[in-house]
Amino acid sequence: MNILVTGGAGFIGSHTVVALAEAGFTPIIVDDFSNSRHSVLEGLEHILGDKVRYYDQNCNDAAIMRQILRDDEIVGVIHFAAFKAVEESMVDPLKYYQNNLGSLLVLLEAMQYSGVSNLIFSSSCTVYGNPDNLPVTEKTPVQPAMSVYGNTKQIGEEILRDVVAADKYMKVISLRYFNPIGAHASARIGELPLGVPNNLVPFITQTAAGMREQLTVFGNDYDTSDGTCVRDYIHVMDLAEAHVAALKSIINSESNTYDVYNVGTGRGNSVLELIRTFEEVTGTALNYVIGPRRSGDVPAVYGDVSKITNALGWTAKHNLREALEDAWRWQREI
């Protein structure tokens, strides 16, 4: 079965390509490499022992998307392609609305035109905004988004619900995941930010490797155990396998459906806990300072993941130490 993976050269996308291939699917990437590198393809080919099919194209090109879906006999799509830097989204909102929502609309139209009905949407725990209670469940009310990026995920989910309600053939699952970290155990693919990282772990590994002078912890006066933000950090390969489980579920379903699942470990760790664990795992002391809060950050969010475990049989297999070990191994191989 040919599965189109938009943004498949990115961090989560590339690891999902591996999980798809190992599950017997044929992943086909479409990525314009605006936020990824072609070297990812070499890493994928080393891991899989075969060439990876890909299109160097932008997902906002309607004609291209129609052609790929039709000519490659695509049976399902996993849609990752989106901008995702919270802070950038607050200063350039139009860029995020045009790309994140525009590419989704183009994809849905192309899927309907081509008769492709199975879609896994890359959503985010940011849809919960600043939740009143933790852990969040799929029934937790969606709060006003704390960032433009988060709002694009909220609106994306609303679009998908409406499309499924109107189209009796469409089958869609939105995966609301938390904070993916780590890398493939081979150290051939991992998180590869262009320029200054937006995520915590690559900033940690680059600081430990001497590429950056110091790490800034954004705020230590939140209402958490140690004053720093709390997040659910999930190994990227666990997250990749959740996409495969969700895809199998809708392919095997005979009726149209829209559903959402939290994907995480079900546990929260603070930024300082993450730093201390990295130092313990690697034996490397980190140079860090406490800075001001960052716009768009919520104090704490982690989820109840019992729904996806019960419905799809998926559960996270890796712990925080393993994820940080893999991230550090990847950093040393870059």
Burial class (CB in 10 A: 0-12, 13-18, 19+), 155: middle
pLDDT of residue 320: 97
> How far is residue 213's CA from residue 54's CA, in Å, rounded to a whole number?
37
Contact 278, 320 (CB under 8 A): no
For residue range 201-231, list pLDDT tens digits in order.
999 999 999 999 999 999 999 999 999 999 9
pLDDT of residue 196: 81
For residue range 21-52, list pLDDT tens digits in order.
999 999 999 999 999 999 999 999 999 999 99
Burial class (CB in 10 A: 0-12, 13-18, 19+), 330: buried
Contact 181, 267 (CB under 8 A): no
pLDDT of residue 300: 95
Residues 6 or more apart in contact with residue 69 via CB below 8 angstroms: 4, 77, 110, 111, 113, 114, 116
pLDDT of residue 146: 85
Closest-CA residue to 110 (of 162, 31, 154, 163)? 163
Please give the DSSP secondary-structure letter assigned to residue 303. Answer: B
**Do β-strands 230-231 and 269-270 pair in parallel, antiparallel, or remain unpaired?**
antiparallel
Q: How far is CA 273 from CA 14, 225, 263, 276, 321, in A?
A: 28, 10, 21, 5, 11
CB neighbours (10 Å) of residue 211? 12
pLDDT of residue 195: 81
Residue 149 annotated in active site: yes
Please give the DSSP secondary-structure letter assigned to residue 72. Answer: T
For residue range 106-124, list pLDDT tens digits in order.
999 999 999 999 999 999 9
Give the helix ranges, DSSP H, for 167-199. Answer: none
For residue range 47-81, list pLDDT tens digits in order.
999 999 999 999 999 999 999 999 999 999 999 99
pLDDT of residue 87: 84
Give the helix ranges, DSSP H, for the chain. Answer: 11-22, 39-48, 62-71, 86-91, 93-96, 102-114, 148-166, 200-208, 236-251, 271-282, 306-312, 320-333
Give the helix ranges, DSSP H, for 101-175. Answer: 102-114, 148-166
* Average of per-residue pLDDT values in the chain: 96
Burial class (CB in 10 A: 0-12, 13-18, 19+), 46: exposed
For residue range 152-191, list pLDDT tens digits in order.
999 999 999 999 999 999 999 999 999 999 999 999 999 9
Polymer length of the chain: 334
Q: Is 228 helix (H, G, I), strand (E, B) or coil?
A: coil
CA quadruple 148, 154, 159, 162: dihedral positive or negative?
Answer: negative
194 has a pLDDT exceeding 90: no
Q: Which of 55, 96, 128, 149 is flagged as catalytic? A: 149
Contact 7, 81 (CB under 8 A): yes
pLDDT of residue 293: 93
What is the rounded (10 degree) CA torsion for 172, 173, 179, 185? Answer: -90
> How far is residue 52's CA from residue 41's CA, in Å, rounded to a whole number?
7
Q: Which two tokens stand for residue 229?
A: 């933000």
242 has a pLDDT exceeding 80: yes
pLDDT of residue 197: 85
Q: Which two tokens stand for residue 100?
A: 């994140």
Q: What is the pTM of this model?
A: 0.96
Residues 6 or more apart in contact with residue 245 via CB below 8 angstroms: 308, 312, 313, 314
In the predicted model, what is the mean pLDDT of residues 83-102? Answer: 94
